[in-house]
Amino acid sequence: MSSTLANQPDLAPLQRFLARQEQIGLLRFLTCGSVDDGKSTLIGRLLYDTKLIFDDQLATLERDSVKHGTAGEHIDFALLVDGLEAEREQGITIDVAYRFFTTDRRRFIVADTPGHEQYTRNMATGASNAELAVVLVDARHGVLTQTRRHSFIVSLLGIRHVVLAVNKIDLVDFSEARFNEIRDDYARAVDGLGFTSLAAIPISARFGDNVIARSSRTPWYGGASLLQYLEGIDVDAAAAVRPFRMAVQWVNRPNLDFRGYSGTISAGTIRPGDRVTVAASGRSSTVARIVTMDGDLDRAGAGSAVTLTLADQIDISRGDVLAAPGAPVAVADKFEAHVVWLTEQNLFPGRSYIFKLGTRTVSGTITHIRHRIDVNTGAQVPADALGVNDVAAIGVSLIAPVAMERFADGRELGGFIIIDRLTNATVGVGMIEAITPGSTNIVWHDLAVDKQARAALKGQRPAALWFTGLSGAGKSTIANLVDHKLHALGHHTYILDGDNVRHGLNRDLGFSEADRVENIRRAAEAARLMVDAGLIVMVSFISPYRSDRDAARERFDAGEFIEVFVDTPIDECRRRDPKGLYARADAGQIRNFTGVDAPYEAPVAAELHLRTTEADPEVLADRVIEELRRRALIA
């Protein structure tokens, strides 16, 4: 027995190490800059010099350096981070790589982000949770366009602490003059971006100069090494002094006797007995307990994941925000913001997207583009649309009020992502600049006679029949026949025809993609008002984009929107060409013509699919009438 005990390892040093780690702070930072500036090499060097590489990893690194390396006979430290095979073969970073390392003074999570322009969205992802940015610049090339772009995005995403790492200083003979030139150029480039701290450090990531310790090869540099600087900088002070904020991620009900509200405190501190207010309702209560997996706490601060129980039973759900009563959170449905657009599919005002703010997800539209920002000069440029990597100032309107703050006051409630409705892909990242005053003061005025009363008087239920299809497919023909048949049956109807509406309501719109989006938005709003009047309205528009048709559907109550896909092959539409438009489009006389040089996105789940090559318009119109009867919209 005693021999067995004597052979057991002494766990005390490990326990002391773990206890010490719990007491030191955590810094999240990212490396960014132009391609080949040495971001991955720097992180690899940090991991190597802090002795966080196992022997087998080092052996693999040495072997991979021979096969994939770009450092000659030396170890290529970038291979520790560039894990994708494509990255190793090309010597670039494509994805965001996260690495953890620790010293006696601090723990670190570092995001290695790509430098290529086409991967700017990955860089924005890495910056979204960082507190500090290390911007690398190749000492030979100086400040480049991508350096400016990344610095601008870093600023927009609320990072206020920046280190300018002038890398490859060994390739310019450790020149003090070159370092000073780049430092001054960068300071001018980021002037006005609002950084709280900006430190410039000359380094050689390959050879370790000024990375872990001061280098004797830069005697003219009197500052700290990069690691020393990262260990010492204070980035937490601002969050601690801000008023209490916590977005509810989950209502915790493990049993009938417990109801808690789980989330991560984004700002301020909370104690049992403190009052909190629900932002949306304005209702208040007192914190009874602060519950964690390790037991109840007497106090919790920013960054703590906790479950709060309250003294009163009040209505709180996922997406609600708990706040200090003396510093309420705004609840609004309109705001102005800066956005970084991340996808090849252009952004157009009026198009519907999904917006995620904090823990709340809600539909909305980008109402206008105030201007695009030239990241090289900071100039404000007029724009009707945004392309990939564009940065712009925009206006947003949500379908429901949401708790929010200006990004400058809190990134957790002031930042948002934009999600494509069809693909569910993140297409943009935004920062709230201003909340529109009184945006929640405009409310829907209830009328004494509602649409059900109006429709009952007409012996019908209101609905919008949305006819979509290519030009020449037969939409207007079938819609007219349906209208005629309904009129003969004594029903009250109206037709919104795409061509007719352009003579009046939409006469100011052209045929660019942005104008097409606005064309459909206005038509949907007009149709909604007619449905509110109790009518059955036929909407006959090409409406080529699924997202626009889905946004139109959202404006109606359940069962009121019926998508009718008038499906005619484009060759048949060309043969018919009742207005001669295809001939003119093929001759280049009409630009952005659907089916020729502009896309048409066919419905994937239309309520009615009418194939005009299989039946004549009369038969197809009867099918629409039958569908209305089946849905009990008409008798």
Q: What is the pLDDT of residue 177?
A: 97
Mean pLDDT of the 302-311 span = 90
> What's the number of domains the chain is made of?
4
Per-residue model confidence (pLDDT) at position 56: 47
Q: Which domain holds residue 139?
A: 16-235
**pLDDT, position 78:** 53
Q: Are residues 298 and 397 in the same domain?
A: no
Residue 120 lies in a domain: yes
Per-residue pLDDT band for 70 (boundaries 50, 70, 90) equals low
In a domain, 10, yes or no: no
Indicate the DSSP class of residue 346: P
Note whether 227 and 100 are same-domain residues: yes
Assign 117 a pLDDT band (cuts: 50, 70, 90): low
What DSSP string runs through 571-594?
HHHHHH-TTSHHHHHHTTSSSS-B
Q: Confirm if 464 and 479 have CB atoms less than 8 A apart.
A: no
Looking at the structure, do residues 157 and 25 belong to the same domain, yes or no? yes
pLDDT at 540 over 60: yes
The model's confidence at residue 390, banded by pLDDT at 50, 70 and 90, is confident
**Residues 509-538: what's their mean pLDDT?**
89
Q: Which of 65, 151, 543, 547 is catalytic?
A: 543
Tokens matching residue 377? 């000069």
Same domain, 459 and 557: yes
Please report whether residue 63 resides in a domain.
yes
Q: Residue 288 contacts by C-beta under 8 Å, 6 or more apart in sequence?
A: 272, 309, 310, 311
- Going by pLDDT thresholds of 50, 70 and 90, the confidence category of residue 474 is very high
Indicate which CATH number applies to the domain containing 271: 2.40.30.10
- Give the number of residues written for the chain: 635
What is the pLDDT, as a whole number, of residue 624?
96
Indicate whether 426 and 550 sit together in one domain. Answer: no
Of 77-81, 88-92, 340-344, where does mean pLDDT reach its minimum?
A: 88-92
Q: What is the mean pLDDT of residues 417-430?
A: 87
**Residues near 295 by Cβ (< 8 Å), separated by ≥ 6?**
none
For 590-601, the pLDDT digits (tens) are: 887 888 888 899
Q: Given a cut of 60, is residue 528 above it in pLDDT?
A: yes
301 and 184 fall within a common domain: no
Residue 119's pLDDT band, with cuts at 50, 70 and 90, is very low
Instruction: Count Cα atoms within 13 angstroms, Cβ side, for 371.
Output: 8
Checking if the pLDDT of 480 tops 70, the result is: yes
Give the mean pLDDT of 172-193: 94
Residue 103 has pLDDT above 80, yes or no: yes
Residue 495 forms part of a structural domain? yes
Give the pLDDT of residue 19: 57
CA distance 113 to 33: 8
**Which residue type does 215 have?**
S
Last residue of a domain, one of 235, 261, 295: 235
Section 158-186 average pLDDT: 94
Helix (H, G, I), strand (E, B) or coil at 31: strand
Residue 455 has pLDDT above 50, yes or no: yes
**Alpha-helical segments (H) within 460-566:** 475-488, 498-501, 513-532, 546-554
304 is catalytic: no
Q: Comparing 166 with 590, which gets the higher pLDDT?
A: 166
Q: Could you tell me if 455 and 548 lie in one domain?
A: yes
- What is the pLDDT at residue 309? 94
What's the pLDDT at 138? 94
Please tell me the predicted confidence (pLDDT) of residue 468: 96
Please determine, for residue 238, whether its predicted confidence score (pLDDT) is greater than 70.
no
Shared-domain flag, residues 507 and 560: yes
CB atoms within 10 A of CB 261: 25
pLDDT of res. 86: 38
Q: What is the pLDDT of residue 97?
A: 65
At residue 149, the pLDDT reads 79
End-of-domain residue from the set 271, 304, 323: 323
Asked whether the predicted pLDDT for residue 5 surpasses 80, the reply is no
Please report how many Cα atoms fall inside a 13 Å half-sphere around the Cα of residue 391, on the Cβ side: 23
- pLDDT at residue 136, rounded to an integer: 92
Measure CA of the first residue to CA of the last residue in the chain; give whole Å: 90
Question: Where a domain ends, among 291, 323, 355?
Answer: 323
* Residue written as token pair 């709003």: 525
Confidence check: pLDDT of 629 > 90: yes
Would you say the C-alpha torsion 278, 281, 282, 285 has a positive or negative sign? negative
Q: What percentage of the chain reaches a pLDDT higher than 70?
A: 84
pLDDT confidence of residue 391: 86
* Mean residue pLDDT across the chain: 83
Which of the two residues, 624 and 412, has the higher pLDDT score?
624
Categorize the per-residue pLDDT at 237 as very low, low, confident or very high, splitting at 50, 70 and 90.
low
What CATH code is carried by the domain that includes residue 122?
Answer: 3.40.50.300
Compare 366 and 96 and report the one with higher pLDDT.
Answer: 366
pLDDT at residue 88 above 50?
no
Is the residue at 516 inside a domain? yes
pLDDT tens profile 204-234: 988 889 998 999 999 999 999 999 999 999 8
d(CA 429, CA 335): 14
The three-state (H, E, C) secondary structure of 63-86, written as one string: HHHHHHCCCCCCCCHHHHCCCCHH
> Is residue 243 over pLDDT 60?
yes
Confidence of residue 77 (pLDDT cuts 50, 70, 90): low
Query: What is the DSSP secondary structure assignment for residue 329, as one 8-state letter?
Result: P
Q: Is residue 560's pLDDT more than 50?
A: yes
Same domain? For 231 and 266 the reply is: no
Please report whether residue 339 resides in a domain: yes
Query: What does 460-486 look like in DSSP terms, one character per residue?
Result: S--EEEEEE--TTSSHHHHHHHHHHHH
Q: Are residues 156 and 274 located together in one domain of the fold?
A: no
418 lies in some domain: yes
Q: Which residues contact 466 (CB under 8 A, 6 or more apart)?
A: 527, 539, 541, 543, 549, 552, 553, 561, 562, 563, 564
Confidence check: pLDDT of 166 > 90: yes
State the pLDDT confidence band at 91, using cuts at 50, 70 and 90: very low
| Mean pLDDT across 166-188 | 95
Q: Is the pLDDT of residue 547 over 50?
A: yes
Shared domain for 229 and 107, answered yes or no, is: yes
User: In this structure, is residue 3 part of a structural domain?
Assistant: no
Q: What is the pLDDT of residue 92?
A: 37
If asked whether residues 364 and 421 sit together in one domain, one would say yes
Share above pLDDT 90 across residues of the chain, in percent, rounded to a whole number: 40
Would the pLDDT of 586 be above 90?
no
